[in-house]
Amino acid sequence: MWVHPEEVLQAGALWITERANPYFILQKRKGHGDGRGGLAGLLVGTLDVVLDSSARVAPYRILYQTPDSLIYWIIAHGCSRKEITEHWEWLEQNLLQTLSIFENENDITTFVKGKVQGIIAEYNKNHDVKEDDDTDKFKEAICTFRKLFGMPEEEKLVNYYSCSYWKGRVPRQGWLYLSINHICFYSYLLGKEAKLVIRWADITQLEKSATLLLPDAVKVSTRLAEHVFSVFLNINETFKLMEQLANIAMRQLLDNKGFEQDRSLPKLKRKTPKKVSALKRDLDARAKSERYRALFRLPKDEKLDGHTGCTLWTPFNKMHILGQMFVSTNYICFTSKEETLCSLIIPLREVTIVEKADSSNFLPSPVSISTKNRMTFLFANLKDRDFLVQRISDFLQQTTSKIYFERETTGSGSLLSSSPQRSSLGSEGSSEGERQFNLNDNSVPTATQALMTMYRRRSPEEFNPKLAKEFLKEQAWKNHIAEYGQGVCMYRTEKTKDLVLKGIPENMRGELWLLFSGEANSRTRSHKQSGVVIVTTGGKTHQILVLGFPKPPFVV
């Protein structure tokens, strides 16, 4: 594999020169290949496995050196003799004669470095590889992983960690490789090799254990055996990734679908750590989106775009609450630093205006967001206000067409609709427990109606005190809606939770369940799946209206 030219030392004690010419040197590292190179080879092979990743290098490499210089440049490395031989032959056939024309050593070095970088750029372009996808070290680890365990090109390595594997009562220091479908371990100590390959789908239990002998260990259980790994540099990060990969494998079994990498991740503006691959970034982004969806009960395809610290002005107690703002493709959400203080969900389909308010010493960098139901939310103390407003504006443009579609397909007389029109909960009209009488009706003279008929009760249930309790619950919810807002955009506080625990009135139960369970958001998305299906049977054509209502959470 061609690599960006990098200065190296020609360590003769660790490398064996197999081929050489005036400009290039092909070397093999001791401790690799047949026989392992005696005692020195055993020691070098052990060092490559045990020491830090900076010492773990490919077994073959090609160096460039000008005749009158002591500086060497590594321009290619390989995991197999066949791969490195192909690069060597290409250099002999295409560059040797050209380099002999140059008279200046600096010109030769510039030409060789430019040629190698051009080859890498052309390869990335032809194979649709982004420059920031993986570092050279990680590509080298991928090459080693596939060679050691015989993995195909389709098997993607996520990350690798240094650890010890307890084989019996003896720890074997080596490297743990975590890929999409497998957990693998490799160790080579003084001529003794140990390999372990386990499919994530075969794992029955994954747990962290802490004993006096092994304070930080991970136990991986299958139907046939138990495997213990310890001495991790960061056990929490490793275990979290192992859990995530095991869960992905289980979902693949249930859904009968393969893993697809998310190609919509934004390109990083700063350098990433050397061992963080593009696939690891993808999995980290998925984990954050899953936590975000679970926190606010959002649809399963909602992707978190970013979050930032801010304050929210709450009109019900006239305070600025410290918390976090989350922005995704279709929602703006807020949760307070104190978990039970306040939370907020603002669908972008309900947003009408997003604007920057005037800053002051008391209210720095504020942003005002207005919705269709005439509610205004004031956020402040935003670090990058201009970028945030621009990002929200971009998402609003994407949802414009969706808003018009929903206006045609959904009604507005519901608690779930945040339109200015009255809903069944916010109206002050008649309810099931109230009686209305038209005393000015001229069809029947009032004087002829008996008092029993005029003031009769609808049913004997009105004598039951349960009806009075339901009426009090309904009044409490109406007062709460008047103070904290109505619909999906309402302020959700500890008082809201207390009202739910005390009980929801019968005539509000359906709509409030949709609101607090998150089904209101899923139902809005499901309207896109509605349509007319034309079916022809027996020479006759039938039109069937298909309504895309979501499945309740308990339906598998």
364 CB contacts (<8 Å, ≥6 apart)? 380, 381
For residues 528 and 495, state if they share a domain: no
CA distances from 182 to 49, 105, 199 (A): 20, 48, 4
Q: Which residues span the domain enclosing 204?
A: 136-255
CA 30 remoteness from chain centre: 42
- Higher-confidence residue of 58 and 395: namely 395
For residues 503 and 526, state if they share a domain: no
343-377 burial, b at 16+ Cβ within 10 Å, e below that, comes to bbbbbbbbbeebeeeeeeeeeebbbebebbbebeb
For residues 251 and 346, state if they share a domain: no
For residues 85 and 111, state if they share a domain: yes
- Percent of the chain predicted with pLDDT > 90: 20
For residue 42, the model assigns a pLDDT of: 56
Query: 252 pLDDT band (50/70/90 cuts)?
Result: confident
Phi-psi region of 221 (alpha: psi -120 to 50; beta: other; left: phi over 0): beta
Backbone angles phi, psi at 139, to 5 degrees: -60, -35
Please state, in angstroms and rounded to a whole number, the distance separating the CA atoms of residues 64 and 95: 12
For residue 253, the model assigns a pLDDT of: 80
For residue 339, the model assigns a pLDDT of: 72
For residue 378, the model assigns a pLDDT of: 94
For residue 424, the model assigns a pLDDT of: 40
CA distances from 380 to 192, 261, 398, 491 (A): 62, 36, 25, 17
445 lies in some domain: no
For residues 488 and 539, state if they share a domain: no
Mean pLDDT along residues 149-154: 88
Of 431, 403, 131, the closest CA to residue 269 belongs to 131
3-class secondary structure, 437: coil
221 CB contacts (<8 Å, ≥6 apart)? 203, 204, 205, 206, 207, 227
Here the tokens at position 157 are 């390595």
Which of 72, 92, 126 terminates a domain? The answer is: 126
Please state, in angstroms and rounded to a whole number, the distance separating the CA atoms of residues 220 and 222: 7
pTM score, whole prediction:
0.61
278 lies in some domain: no
Q: Lowest-pLDDT range, 94-98, 328-332, 370-374?
A: 94-98
CA 75 remoteness from chain centre: 36
Mean pLDDT along residues 187-191: 75
Mean pLDDT along residues 107-134: 75
- Evaluated on CA atoms 77, 82, 86, 91, the torsion sign reads positive
Half-sphere exposure of 541 (CA within 13 A, CB side): 3
Pairing of strands 157-167, 226-230: antiparallel
CA distances from 74 to 43, 70, 116 (A): 23, 13, 11
For residues 150 and 116, state if they share a domain: no
User: Which ranges in 431-518 belong to alpha helices (H)?
Assistant: 451-454, 465-484, 494-502, 509-517
Contacts for 130-134 with beta carbons within 8 Å, 24 or more apart?
A: 130/267, 130/278, 132/267, 132/268, 132/272, 132/278, 133/277, 133/278, 134/277, 134/278
For 515-545, what is each residue's pLDDT tens digit? 888 887 776 654 444 444 344 444 554 444 4
For residue 368, the model assigns a pLDDT of: 93
Confidence check: pLDDT of 220 > 90 = yes
Which of 409, 435, 455 terminates a domain? The answer is: 409
Query: 370 pLDDT band (50/70/90 cuts)?
Result: very high
Please state, in angstroms and rounded to a whole number, the distance separating the CA atoms of residues 113 and 73: 9
334 lies in some domain: yes
For residues 488 and 533, state if they share a domain: no
Which of 92, 126, 160 terminates a domain? The answer is: 126
Confidence check: pLDDT of 380 > 90 = yes
Angle at which helix 278-296 crosses helix 235-255, to 10 degrees, equals: 80
Confidence check: pLDDT of 82 > 50 = yes
For residue 172, the model assigns a pLDDT of: 85
10 CB contacts (<8 Å, ≥6 apart)? 25, 63, 72
For residues 119 and 6, state if they share a domain: yes
For residue 127, the model assigns a pLDDT of: 65
Average per-residue pLDDT for the chain: 76
For 224-240, what is each residue's pLDDT tens digit? 999 999 878 888 889 99
Domain count, the chain: 5
For residues 41 and 102, state if they share a domain: yes
For residues 422 and 484, state if they share a domain: yes
Query: 66 pLDDT band (50/70/90 cuts)?
Result: confident
For 295-344, what is each residue's pLDDT tens digit? 999 988 899 999 999 999 999 989 999 999 999 999 999 999 887 789 99
Q: What is the CATH number of the domain that holds 190?
A: 2.30.29.30
The residue to which tokens 């972008």 are assigned: 348
279 lies in some domain: no
